């Protein structure tokens, strides 16, 4: 669905999805670590 909407190839879709998931995971981890320091 996302692939068709943005006109990406399967490889580009997997690459962007992996990158987005990684960034989301890292930012979530940093947020939790900062929250544990404050609270």
pLDDT at 2 over 80: no
Tens of pLDDT, residues 15-34: 999 999 999 999 999 999 99
**Residues with Cβ < 8 Å from 10, sequence gap 6 or more?**
3
- The boundaries of the domain holding residue 17 are 2-38
Tell me 12's DSSP state.
H
Q: Is residue 2 within 8 Å of residue 14, measured between CB atoms?
A: no
Q: What is the pLDDT of residue 29?
A: 98
Q: How many domains does the chain have?
A: 1
Q: Is residue 8 within 8 Å of residue 16, measured between CB atoms?
A: yes
């Amino acid at each position: 669905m996302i692939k068709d909407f943005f006109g990406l190839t399967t490889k580009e879709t997997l690459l962007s999805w992996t990158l987005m998931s990684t960034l989301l995971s890292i930012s979530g981890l940093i947020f939790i670590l900062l929250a544990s320091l404050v609270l």
